[in-house]
Structure 1
Amino acid sequence: MHIHILGISGTFMGSLAVLAKDSGATVTGSDLKSYPPISDQLEDLNIKVIPNYDIDQLQLKPDLFVIGNVMSRGMPIIEQILTQNLPYTSGPRWLKDNILDQKQVIAVSGTHGKTTIASLIAFILKDLGADPGYLIGGIPIGFDRSSNIGTGPIFIVEADEYDTAFFDKRSKFIHYKSDVLLINNIEFDHVDIFNDVDQIIWQFHQLLRTLSPRTRIIANGDDLNIQKLFALGVWSEIDYFGSSFSDSQKWTCVLDDHGQYNLSLKGKKLEPIHSKLFGQHNMLNVTAAIASLSNLGLNPRELMASAQNFIGVKRRLEYLGKFSNIHLFDDFAHHPTAIKASMAAMKSKFHSSRLYAVVELASNTMRKGSLKSDLKESFHDADFVWILDFGDAEWDIQKEFLGIKNVGIAKNMEDLSDQLWSKLKVDDSLVIMTNKDSVGIRNILIKGPPI
């Protein structure tokens, strides 16, 4: 069978391409832009990617088009697929029909933390000798790719609330048959399809209405929007986790002064977790992963021991090394809450060094400026932050940050380079924060200061 994927270079569709190829299909695809690590993954698997959406690719005559949510009505290739009545489906529906229906599914949802938690769950199972299936929106460090069918019965899927396709405006996660559903947090995001957080909560509510009573929900008890969700109705049992003790909370974790994660189960303290991850947000991510896997009958102490071996995920506060005497980190953070959490984690871990960041406002939410007030509160822990302003934002970035002493604006890469080298000193730390390709920013440090 020949499958042609429109929008193949996104993290979800690029991972789907791997599963389709492993299933025995011939896979091709198209996209306008491709970024590592997904572009590298597709190239390694010899999956041909056409760098456009021209209708000429219809001559490939695939058996099925899998259409990503980047595609829309009015695009010539979409109009031709519909006119010629060619077979098509969405990525989430293909995943359900061809993979998930035969698996025991752990679905990881929420505005933040999905990739780290899903990666950690997959890592722990592999560390304990299993061969789980997974589809993750990133590549765990030590893994060679972002998805795997797996020979075992368990499949971990990153369950996104973004819409499915132009012909199915439900959230992707509505298609996934969840045996364990993790809800890590709910916050306003994706302003291109949601008007407010209540619309996101409503999509989660539709998900809960489809769950079996046997599905176990693992939920962040600290999150008020999750409580609003459950007030609308829930018909499955819930295990709560969080950072504060309460009678309703099954799993509680507290970060101590030494950076250890101190986990308790039903109020009983377990051994500290010496995680290679750091920060309050990662503490909750680790707790969520252990809570999810404990429902499979696995020993919590074995889960905790394996979690300590997990290094992290590419582009999630990933340490790239020391370049020009500067410690360089790459982070996918592109929402004010995620930016703030990463900054706080960096400051707590490397409090003795100066912390700098380059932030690119590349997501639709950031470009539209819907969360600009929250963004201004995200930089408290940084010594200085540069915001890239290439002129494609729908708000006046320069005006908004005027007078904020630890924020500068860079108009282009040359401008950024000049500003970086005017401040950076030996052993400083620099974090790149963008959901786009970070290579251009990295190269500034790799090349070093001008002589």
Structure 2
Amino acid sequence: MKIFFIGIGGIAMGNLAYMLKSIGHEVSGSDLNLYPPMSDKLKEWGFEPKSGFQKENVHGYDLVIVGNSISRGNPELEEVLNSGMEYMSLPQAISHFFLKKKKVIVVAGTHGKTTTTFLIYHILKEAGLSPGLFVGGIQKDGHPGFNLGEGEYFVIEGDEYDSAFFDKSSKFLHYRPYYLLLTSLDFDHADIFPNIDAIKTMFKRLLNLVPSNGKVFYWQGSENLREICHDYQLSPIEAYRINTQDSIFKIEDGSICLQNGERFYSGLMGEHNLLNTEVALRLCQTILPGETNLVRYASNFPGVKRRQEIRFQSNDTIFVEDFAHHPVAILETIKAVRFSFSGFKVISLFEPRSATSHRSVFQEEFAKCFSGSDACLITEVFNVNKVPQEMRLNVPKLIETIPQYSRTKAIYCESPQDLLEKLQNLISEYSHEKIIVLGMSNGAFGGIYPEIDEILKNRKRV
């Protein structure tokens, strides 16, 4: 089949294009702008994408995959509609080509999806099951976010964001869950969801898709998940926590232990990642009840790039990069870093960039979530013209409000470059201290991370 991708430059779209090419389809695509790393990957995989959108590009293809950033008025999309060509969204295509007759493990939730999806895949792969994989990230060892797999299981990150211009329902509704893991449920994606109830509706619809011989796992600590799972009876359902009698993990004297008291070592930091590991192991125990090495497989999981990724570390200076952009994720990430590196001053850097974080919807929550930091530097919102001023996160006001909730030193930065200069001054103030710099953004943060790497590598503690 000849398949064309409108918007091939996105990570998920590019990965799917390569998967389809790998099973024998003739695949091409286009995009307005192509950037590394996907531009490099597409070249490596033998693609030569069209630059820009021209209606002639789609001629002669059997199927068109439409990215969710593509809207009416796009010349290629208009040609597809006018000529009656067959088209699909990305989640439809994944389901159609790769999920049929598979036992699909869907990991959904506001936080922890990527890490938990990769972790489950890693454990099942180590156990010899050869699962399939589709997830929006890259492992720290370089493993990409996809794998065809030869076994009966397919592990996929269940994104609640919408599917395409013609399908405003969540992507995860296309993924045929056999096992469903719900890690959390908070308000997010303010650009498409008016309130938390709209998101709950999507999650309820997802629950309704699990077959009676499947199973649901949900985090009992989430009030929203408890609400939507309260009267669910369509399949077996299991709530999970840590530090309970039936949990795999418990925390004793600051150490993570199994129920038998054995110390558990993991490269993942924080209680939120312990919860991710808990549910991953519960699922894998359900699939492989006689396997005794599951905990060992989990302990050697390499982790995910841009999730608590240590970019630089010396005895007294550490630089960690993280994808956190939601107040809950920021709070938990700071807690995790402080717990893991006792005795270090924590300097948090934040770029409000996501569709939700640059809006005022979390104005008060952002003021509270940096309380675990000794200092925080926050830039003006990315792309200030994207939302009207009255709907935009007021960063100067946020900086004024943070000290009302904590002793954190809050510093306003006009831009990433301004942040870089102010960070150097702050590092000088902490010349006698051990410091950890924690950068948080769902984007490139103005490309300043390599410069921070060099600053910290050359830091001399007095």
Gaps of 5+ in 1: none
* Residues 161-188 of structure 1 deviation map (CA, whole Å, 9 limit, x = unaligned): 1111111121111111122111111111
RMSD: 2.6
SS class of match (2:129): coil
Give matches, 1:25-424, under 5 Å.
Answer: 25-32=25-32, 37-52=37-52, 54-56=53-55, 58=57, 61-231=60-230, 233-245=232-244, 250-251=246-247, 253-260=249-256, 262-264=257-259, 269=260, 271-299=262-290, 301-322=292-313, 326-389=317-380, 390=382, 392=384, 394-402=392-400, 404-405=402-403, 406-424=409-427
Alignment counterpart, residue 445 of structure 1, candidates 442, 449, 452: 452
Give distance in 1, aligned partners of 2:364 and 2:261.
40
CA spacing shift, 1:117–1:57, aligned 2, 3 Å: farther
Which TM-score applies when normalising by structure 1? 0.90
1:101-132 deviation per Cα after TM superposition (whole angstroms, max 9, x unaligned): 03221111111001000111111122223322
Distance in 1 between the 2:377 and 2:183 partners? 30
1:291 deviates by 1.0
Return the alpha-carbon distance in structure 1 between the equivalents of residues 272 and 240 of structure 2.
13
Q: Is the 8 A contact 1:323 1:448 kept in 2?
A: no
Letter in 2 for 1:140: Q
SS at match of 1:116: helix
Question: Following TM superposition, by how much is the alpha carbon of 1:280 offset from its aligned partner in structure 2, in angstroms?
Answer: 0.5
Following TM superposition, by how much is the alpha carbon of 1:282 offset from its aligned partner in structure 2, in angstroms? 0.5
> What is the aligned counterpart of 1:431 among 423, 438, 447?
438
Counterpart contact for 1:326–1:429, Cα < 8 Å: yes
Alpha-carbon distance change, 263 to 241 in structure 1, aligned in 2, over 3 angstroms:
farther
Distance 2:446 2:131 in 1: 32
Q: Which runs of 4+ in 1 moved over 4 A?
A: 32-40, 322-326
How far does residue 335 in structure 1 lie from its aligned partner after superposition?
Answer: 0.8
CA 1:110/1:85 → structure 2, altered by over 3 Å: closer, same or farther? same
1:57-112: CA deviation from partner (whole Å, max 9, x where unpaired) = 62564332111211122333322221122221011111111100032211111110
**TM-score, with length taken from structure 2:** 0.88
Q: Which amino acid aligns with 2:379?
A: L
Residues 182-212 of structure 1, C-alpha deviation per residue, up to 9 Å, x if partnerless?
A: 1111111111111111111111111222221
C-alpha separation between the residues in 2 aligned to 1:40 and 1:187? 35
Does residue 1:12 correspond to 2:12, yes or no? Answer: yes
Unaligned residue ranges in structure 2 (runs of 5+): 404-408
Deviates most, 152-161 or 41-50: 41-50
1:354 positional shift: 1.5
Give the 3-state SS of the residue equivalent to 1:125 in structure 2. helix
Distance 1:190-1:37 versus aligned 2 partners, 3 A rule: same
C-alpha spacing 1:413/1:169, structure 2 compared with 1 (3 Å): closer
Report the CA distance shift for 1:130/1:252 in structure 2 as closer, same or farther (over 3 A).
closer
- 1:17-47 Cα deviation digits (max 9, x unpaired): 2322222223333344556554544343233
**1:386: how far off?**
1.4
Secondary structure of the residue aligned to 1:306 is: helix
Residues 236-287 of structure 1: CA deviation (Å, up to 9, x unaligned): 11122112537xxx53533333442x344xxxx4744211111110100100
- Say which SS state the counterpart of residue 137 (structure 1) adopts: coil
**Separation in 1 of the partners of 2:446 and 2:15?**
21
Deviations 1:371-392 (CA, angstroms, capped at 9, x unpaired):
1211111101112111121561
